Structure 1
Amino acid sequence: MKPLPSKARAVIIGGGVSGCSVAYHLVKLGWTDVILLERKQLTCGTTWHAAGLLSELRGSSDMTKLTKYSMQLYSSLEEETGIATGLRRVGSLSIALTQERKHELYRQLSLAAAYGVEARKISVRELEGMYPHIDVSDVTAALHFPNDGQCDPGNVAMALAKGARQRGAAIFEGVNVAGVQARNGRVSSVTWEKEGQRGVIETEVVVNCAGMWAREFGARSDVAVPLHACEHFYLVTEPINGLTRLPVLRVLDEHTYYKEDAGRLLFGAVEPEAKPWGMDGIPESFCFDQLPEDFAHFEPIMEKALKRIPMLATAGIRTFFNGPESFTPDDQYHLGEVPDVRGYWVACGYNSTGIAAAGGAGLALAQWMNDDEPPFDLSSVDIRRMEPLQKNRSYLRERVSEVVALSFADHFPTRQMTTARGIRRSPIHEHLKARGAVFGEMVGWEQANWFAREGQEREYRYSWYRQNWFDNQRDEHTAVRERVGLFDLTSFGKIRVEGRDAITFLQRLCSNDVDVPIGQIVYTQMLNERGGIESDLTVSRLTETAFLLVVSASTLQPNLSWLRRHLGDEFVVITDMSASESILAVMGPNSRELLGRVSPNDFSNENNPYGTWQEIEIGMGLARAHRVTCVGELGWGIYIPTDQAAHVFEVIEAAGADVGLKLCGLYAIGSCRMEKGCRHLPDDVGSRDHVLEAGLGFAVKTAKPGYIGRDAVLRKLEAGFDRRLVQFRLKDPAPLLHKNEVVFRDGRIAGTITSGDYGHTLGGALGLGYIPCKDESEAALLSSSYQIEIAGESYAAEVSLKPMYDPNGERMRA
């Protein structure tokens, strides 16, 4: 055999479509000495049996760019390599069988126009004309995406592999990678085995593209890659007389998809309850293998298919296929550099979208590796979003049984996972449960989202309209605005940064000035070199050399990674303290009075002004009272050692009856923060959003030298803004805003809503969104006419650059 080299710039592990795409794009960027190692044969894991469906539209503009690129790439590979990819832009059809699904499809239609994806609404009669074999008796709506299509997955991977070879990449099959070695926290080499031979390749860059083996392979190097394989079923008929070229068909409410292939019909399913596979590991011998048939599992899907496509009843079955695919805990794939080992990258866990995603994902990862920064906002797929607990195999096995179906599920706002629940709980979880809390889940944390009234069901009834908790949110919102509410924010991430050089380190990372006296709290961002927002946080100075950083639960791991990656020679210790303290937030105009009843300390403006903290006695416990707010009202976050949290909760609750205390959930915070126009990361602000255009210039100190992103801030001040984040309020009080509704300015598409909620005090739905404004004045921006489209219906909106509620912040400083 051709000898393996002893050194390489990059070693890619896994010869499926993902690994081949990464190799292709790295060499296309000019990387030399790129090696791909495949344990058996190219495509032999999942790629060879993928359905090969291609669709452009995704849930964000950046993810849509990547899938559109995939299709463009696959259409050009044949000319470049001589290998046909089988790409056929036959179009696709998505049909709805319910009114709720119809609403969702029409929302997608609006979004498609904003993202540059061609789509149109078609009538039932048009649907019959385009797909004459379908029963349309219960169809409520249908969309046609003319540029979608299908391809041959194996040939796509082979074309990418050949294109990579043509530019100098070396691809070796039959090579088992025993492990990845690291030195001083960075990849140093790869060890391999082939036909009894062993060797080492020195390299500083490894890409784990091992698909359903990626978790096990990563574990060999103590790298967490949370994914798990599930069985995937589809059926292929014998040739059907008269079956002509057809668009891909997705019957979302039946969890089925159909594609015509050489006169045969393939139909498959994303089952509501999937079958995890490979709990004890995937056999080393696995190569182009199938899993045992389980027709009993597939039978409910088959029954629906026979009714939907009656000609299937007389068609012969050529293949009943069952093969494994890998899935992640949140239905988003894994991309990027892992947090613990520099130079260890991943591209895997595609959740049945690997063929459509791999071209764009390979491009994005290669550019990320080349430039040391992502080319788009990739936070939704960044491997750093995963919590350590999510590598637990029992957790993964249970969670992925639900994840398989999510791509075809109704994507209702506030939809909650039902599997792998109850893992992380606040010390007062049972107290809240006994008082009617209805919990949601965030990276394993159980969070009280709303409180049911006595006799009210403690379940979600999902809808695109007002859900069954809407009135509960209103009552909790009103209590915070008029009296006082109590929130459990224990799930917030808490990071202690301490040491001799802590202030030097934080001053370099934070855009605001955090060199403040002990007892002060600073709201700030951590920026990248483009002025984009990597972190949105508060920094509290605890001592001369110790600081507490507080972030949202979902961004804890990316924050820890960002801090550790930027730690140089400074003498600093970074510690995740999230489990050591609970946070009880006491918010509302009566909060000062309530705290005065349970603590002998002075909560006056003179002693404890906004943006400061103090140590307090509370009940018979000790805590810190942080004078900050997440709802735009007078309030405190009470930081309590977890062993005292239940006691403090009981004391506050007992004292609160006379001042109108109400237990409140996170949905009330969402409503209040939207009225106040508070930004939420990653929805409203992120790595590609300039801090000034996001309206956060008040938290940026341009006079402070030396912090990351300062030069980008100064450049933006000189060049002017290209866009602004503004607040919208619908004039009609009935409709709701959630996210991704399309904004029209003077009749033209101008952007989308980044996040939305209902403003119960302001009396209408509110949203945030970016509007282009290059070379425009604020007056011109605000004087335009704005409409927001919701599922095809247009609603007039007011717009503001300042918070519509308490724009001067007088209430929170009262």
Structure 2
Amino acid sequence: MQSKLPSHVEHVIVGGGIIGLSIAYHLTRLGHRDVLLLERDQLTCGTTWHAAGLVTQLRASENMAKLAQYTAELFRELEQLTGQHTGFRQCGSITVAATPARLEELKRGASMGRSFGLDVEIIDAAEAKRRVPLLDVADVLGAAWIASDGKTNPVDTARAFAAGAKQGGAKILERTPVTRIIVEAGRIVGVDTAEGVVRTEKVVICAGMWTRALAADLNWTVPLHAAEHFYVVTESMAGLSPDTPTVRDLDACFYAKEDAGKLLVGFFETNGKPWGAAGIPREFSFESLPDDFEHIEPYLADAMRRMPALEKVGLQLSFNGPESFTPDNRFLLGPAPDISGLYVASGFNSCGIESSGGAGKVMAEWMSTGVPANDYWEMDVRRAMPFQRNRRYLHDRTGEAVGLLYSLHRPHKSPATARNVRVSPLHDRLATVGAKFGEAAGWERAQWFGAPGAPVNAHATFARDDWFKASGAEHEATRSGVALFDQTSFAHLLVQGRDALALLQRLSTNDIDVPVGRIVYTPWLNERGGMESDVTIARAGGEEFLVVTAAVQRIRDLAWLRMHAKHAGHVFVTDVSSGYACLSVMGPRSRELLMRASPADFSDLAFPFATAREIEIGYGMALAFRMTFVGELGWELHIPAEQALGVYDALIAAGSDLDLRHAGYVALNTLRLEAGYRDWGADVSDEDSPLEAGLAFTIAWNKSEDFIGRAVLESKRGQTPRRRLVQLAAPGAVPLLFGTEPVWRNGSLVGYLRSAGFGHTLGCGVGMGYLYCESGVSAEWLSKGSFEIEIAGEKHAAIASLRAFYDVNRTRVKGEVRKVEELIAPDLLKACLKG
């Protein structure tokens, strides 16, 4: 495979594992011939060579599932396309459940899979035993069966990608390590190797365990860490068919597959073993790690109980090899935030083989066009925060991340390790009054408030347990009185300069040329009309604007601003997030509370909606936004971080006889769902237009300045979208909604919920989802349909609407006094069982 190093190519791929080879293959399929893959030693020598080779397709989101589904479809024909044997066999998979909670998770997953076009069948224990006679199903309550799952030979499959890439014109060089990635003026210009420099416009790092260090040299955070991964291989087992389905027992933390007449059994232990914190040797190739049978013995014992035949057969091999894991068990794909032309595809959390085809296709398209073909935000490397390249953090989180792959994915669950990295100045105050914290972008955020002293890591279940009751009370207090939310995790980006307005007008669909002290909510679009973000912009001066966005969007939005500011003239973009804390005072009595703590005039005349004022409060100052995300009268107080405790104490003292309630993010979510407020990353993304998302009111068609994506919106203006974000409610459903539930109309699948929760004011489950109709999703189409929402395999009658079910005219937001009952949509009020 060795040949002369070229002086210049269009695309360079760093790393010759299955991901890098798949990207090379897919780039050539798109017509690119100037593709160079550089491997430090030999192809597949890092992790690919010892992967188990399972091919599974059920994922937590539509686009992650599509990656896996595409991979399985490609594997079926890859050998024919390339002439290289792959060993792929579509034998199906079975995942057993021995607890009610696990069975419910499987049922919810099966419903979700159907909404993504994946056929997942829930079978009983007897059927699981029939399909896999090796199983002991005495305690099995049910299982999930996916006929289209299978297994493949990782090395042969990687070779097939290599063969296809070379046939398409790509050059693959082994034993050519990249020693440096060359960046000039914020863009890729080449890579350095022992053989010389290759000039290039685009580089993608697919270096597996070595990726973090390569990226860190460029001051780029790509957070992953290696962990030891264990499996055993038995001696030959008589009668073991190559078509035996792969097996998972997630509670027992093991998987099993037939492997050349033997059984391979692998483990994802509750407490994994991080490896390589001091750095991965460059010469580490085709190597295993020392065995630790004592570590895996309890898991092997559980596997023997589930598959008793294991007790009667010897072990031919006990293997231990490293694989890389990310802090949130999601892939790392996409562009570097501040280096044009640099990409990454790494951190596959033991799912690299089964996602390799889809990941290669996604990255090839992304590198070719500069934009992702679909919404891959949950896998986007720009979600990573700078602190996450800290090696101690990664080491400690990785020990848990191994087991999180197979643990129950309960709602609102956060990891238990490497916590308290980013805390609000109010953290200890909130903990004292019973805050139960979750994690978002490293921030500790109150999910709900329980009894002080109760377990701080208590996670929500699928049932109406203590978390449900506590967050429900917070929800109701926000609707009836006043509640306090700590939203310090907001990101704050300051845009200044004489060309700041022009830049923001170019980025924003809404009109930002407003008087000083006004606030504008606006989407930012890409060239195809999808929403790159949605932000709140306060005009703080003639040439000064404060952009407020969600914690998880901080790096992405900052990069978007800086990228466009490069060519915008006299503009300065500064991340001032660490300088602010934010307290939101929400509810019909919020004005009364603030008037006790501040001498400012909070009347509608002096302080109308969508305005910002600097106010005195307590002994400090705050920039107060009259805004809301809960559908009630309220203010966000953006406070200098060092003054946050004093302002908080003043509010608590002022609310002592107003029944002021602390509230967390679970209540914030259920409140905004009732009121129909969109959440970027859940309800809207970079593939959703404002017209599809029901946000046409944010488009300033008449402003003189052009904005990115306008041409696409203009071409669809006045049309009824075929795909539209719709409000849905399930008045009679007892199981809770959490999102991804399929939506049926007149017996046909028409979409699924993007986000959902229990509307305590409405008295039922409520959510939002994109529904599809070839002739257009209109109010008439909704009114003439009979809708159902599928929850854990059961369908429940639903009501669909283009408008919010609660206070559609925003009367309470405007400060009007109206009874809650008057604000609920009449059709829903009739349908709900209010007691």
- TM (norm. structure 1) is 0.98
Equivalent residue number for residue 723 of structure 2: 723
- The answer to whether the 8 Å contact 1:452/1:458 transfers is no
Matched ranges for 1:111-510 at <5 A? 111-193=112-194, 198-245=195-242, 246-454=244-452, 456-510=454-508
RMSD across aligned C-alpha pairs, in angstroms?
1.3
Deviations 1:669-704 (A, max 9, x none): 111111101111111100111211111111111222
Equivalent residue number for residue 553 of structure 2: 555
Deviations 1:165-186 (A, max 9, x none): 1111111111121101111100
**Structure 2 counterpart SS, 1:56:** coil
- The answer to whether the 8 Å contact 1:733/1:763 transfers is no
Residue 84 of structure 2 aligns with an amino acid whose one-letter code is I
**Structure 1 counterpart SS, 2:209:** helix
**Structure 2 counterpart SS, 1:323:** strand
- The answer to whether the 8 Å contact 2:410/2:459 transfers is no
Instruction: Tell me, in whole angstroms, the C-alpha distance in 2 between the residues paired with 1:18 and 1:780.
Output: 44
Residue 806 of structure 2 aligns with an amino acid whose one-letter code is Y
1:457 is displaced (CA, Å) by 4.6
Residue 712 of structure 1 aligns with an amino acid whose one-letter code is V
Among the aligned pairs, what percent are the same residue?
A: 46
Note closer, same or farther for the CA distance 1:79–1:734 as it changes in structure 2 (3 Å cut).
closer
Instruction: Tell me, in whole angstroms, the C-alpha distance in 2 between the residues paired with 1:642 and 1:703.
Output: 39
Note closer, same or farther for the CA distance 1:354–1:794 as it changes in structure 2 (3 Å cut).
same
Matched, 1:708 2:708: yes
Deviations 1:381-418 (A, max 9, x none): 11111111111111111111111122222111111110
- The answer to whether the 8 Å contact 2:304/2:311 transfers is yes
Instruction: Tell me, in whole angstroms, the C-alpha distance in 2 between the residues paired with 1:562 and 1:691.
Output: 18
- The answer to whether the 8 Å contact 2:623/2:639 transfers is yes
Equivalent residue number for residue 762 of structure 1: 762
Note closer, same or farther for the CA distance 1:701–1:773 as it changes in structure 2 (3 Å cut).
farther
Instruction: Tell me, in whole angstroms, the C-alpha distance in 1 between the residues paired with 2:434 and 2:218.
Output: 44
Residue 73 of structure 2 aligns with an amino acid whose one-letter code is Q
Instruction: Tell me, in whole angstroms, the C-alpha distance in 1 between the residues paired with 2:81 and 2:116.
Output: 28
Unaligned runs of 5+ in 2: 816-835
Point out the more displaced range, 349-358 or 122-131: 122-131
Equivalent residue number for residue 818 of structure 2: none
Note closer, same or farther for the CA distance 1:90–1:6 as it changes in structure 2 (3 Å cut).
same
Instruction: Tell me, in whole angstroms, the C-alpha distance in 2 between the residues paired with 1:600 and 1:377.
Output: 46
- The answer to whether the 8 Å contact 1:461/1:468 transfers is no
Equivalent residue number for residue 24 of structure 1: 25
1:78 is displaced (CA, Å) by 1.6
Point out the more displaced range, 141-150 or 65-74: 65-74
1:326 is displaced (CA, Å) by 0.5
**Structure 1 counterpart SS, 2:379:** coil
Equivalent residue number for residue 773 of structure 2: 773
**Structure 2 counterpart SS, 1:9:** strand
- The answer to whether the 8 Å contact 2:221/2:385 transfers is no
Instruction: Tell me, in whole angstroms, the C-alpha distance in 1 between the residues paired with 2:123 and 2:775.
Output: 40
Deviations 1:737-780 (A, max 9, x none): 10111111111111111101111111111111111134344222
Instruction: Tell me, in whole angstroms, the C-alpha distance in 2 between the residues paired with 1:651 and 1:667.
Output: 25
1:570 is displaced (CA, Å) by 2.0
- The answer to whether the 8 Å contact 1:439/1:447 transfers is yes
Equivalent residue number for residue 606 of structure 2: 607
Point out the more displaced range, 21-30 or 75-84: 75-84
Note closer, same or farther for the CA distance 1:243–1:13 as it changes in structure 2 (3 Å cut).
same
- The answer to whether the 8 Å contact 2:523/2:534 transfers is yes
Instruction: Tell me, in whole angstroms, the C-alpha distance in 1 between the residues paired with 2:138 and 2:7.
Output: 64
1:5 is displaced (CA, Å) by 1.0
- The answer to whether the 8 Å contact 1:773/1:781 transfers is no
Equivalent residue number for residue 59 of structure 1: 60
Residue 445 of structure 1 aligns with an amino acid whose one-letter code is W
Unaligned runs of 5+ in 1: none
Instruction: Tell me, in whole angstroms, the C-alpha distance in 2 between the residues paired with 1:120 and 1:586.
Output: 47
Point out the more displaced range, 230-239 or 159-168: 159-168
Residue 568 of structure 2 aligns with an amino acid whose one-letter code is D
Deviations 1:540-585 (A, max 9, x none): 0000011111111111111112212222132111111111011111
**Structure 2 counterpart SS, 1:424:** coil
- The answer to whether the 8 Å contact 2:93/2:247 transfers is yes
- The answer to whether the 8 Å contact 2:225/2:324 transfers is yes
Point out the more displaced range, 68-77 or 310-319: 68-77
Deviations 1:20-55 (A, max 9, x none): 011111122121221111111000000000000001
Instruction: Tell me, in whole angstroms, the C-alpha distance in 1 between the residues paired with 2:424 and 2:556.
Output: 22
Instruction: Tell me, in whole angstroms, the C-alpha distance in 2 between the residues paired with 1:273 and 1:434.
Output: 30
Point out the more displaced range, 484-493 or 731-740: 731-740
Instruction: Tell me, in whole angstroms, the C-alpha distance in 2 between the residues paired with 1:23 and 1:723.
Output: 34
Point out the more displaced range, 210-219 or 508-517: 210-219
Matched, 1:98 2:99: yes
Instruction: Tell me, in whole angstroms, the C-alpha distance in 2 between the residues paired with 1:411 and 1:459.
Output: 14
Residue 240 of structure 2 aligns with an amino acid whose one-letter code is L
Residue 156 of structure 1 aligns with an amino acid whose one-letter code is T
- The answer to whether the 8 Å contact 1:92/1:149 transfers is yes
**Structure 1 counterpart SS, 2:771:** strand
Equivalent residue number for residue 4 of structure 2: 3
Instruction: Tell me, in whole angstroms, the C-alpha distance in 1 between the residues paired with 2:129 and 2:598.
Output: 71
Instruction: Tell me, in whole angstroms, the C-alpha distance in 1 between the residues paired with 2:459 and 2:477.
Output: 24
- TM (norm. structure 2) is 0.95
Equivalent residue number for residue 748 of structure 2: 748
Residue 211 of structure 1 aligns with an amino acid whose one-letter code is G
- The answer to whether the 8 Å contact 2:483/2:585 transfers is yes
Point out the more displaced range, 453-462 or 91-100: 453-462
Point out the more displaced range, 355-364 or 465-474: 465-474
Equivalent residue number for residue 583 of structure 2: 584
1:528 is displaced (CA, Å) by 1.3
Instruction: Tell me, in whole angstroms, the C-alpha distance in 2 between the residues paired with 1:60 and 1:149.
Output: 20
Deviations 1:615-642 (A, max 9, x none): 1111111111110011111110111111
Note closer, same or farther for the CA distance 1:212–1:473 as it changes in structure 2 (3 Å cut).
same
**Structure 2 counterpart SS, 1:204:** strand
Residue 203 of structure 1 aligns with an amino acid whose one-letter code is T
1:2 is displaced (CA, Å) by 2.7
Deviations 1:522-544 (A, max 9, x none): 11110112221111111100000
- The answer to whether the 8 Å contact 1:702/1:713 transfers is no
Instruction: Tell me, in whole angstroms, the C-alpha distance in 2 between the residues paired with 1:280 and 1:121.
Output: 45
How many residues align structurally? 810
Instruction: Tell me, in whole angstroms, the C-alpha distance in 1 between the residues paired with 2:264 and 2:486.
Output: 50
Instruction: Tell me, in whole angstroms, the C-alpha distance in 1 between the residues paired with 2:128 and 2:671.
Output: 44
- The answer to whether the 8 Å contact 1:240/1:315 transfers is yes
1:80 is displaced (CA, Å) by 2.6
Note closer, same or farther for the CA distance 1:434–1:224 as it changes in structure 2 (3 Å cut).
same
- The answer to whether the 8 Å contact 1:181/1:221 transfers is no
Equivalent residue number for residue 826 of structure 2: none
Matched, 1:89 2:90: yes
Equivalent residue number for residue 597 of structure 2: 598
Point out the more displaced range, 407-416 or 43-52: 407-416
Note closer, same or farther for the CA distance 1:2–1:734 as it changes in structure 2 (3 Å cut).
closer
Note closer, same or farther for the CA distance 1:733–1:69 as it changes in structure 2 (3 Å cut).
closer
1:207 is displaced (CA, Å) by 1.0
- The answer to whether the 8 Å contact 2:16/2:206 transfers is yes
**Structure 1 counterpart SS, 2:577:** coil
Matched, 1:536 2:534: yes
Residue 229 of structure 1 aligns with an amino acid whose one-letter code is A
Deviations 1:209-244 (A, max 9, x none): 101111112223333211000000000011112222
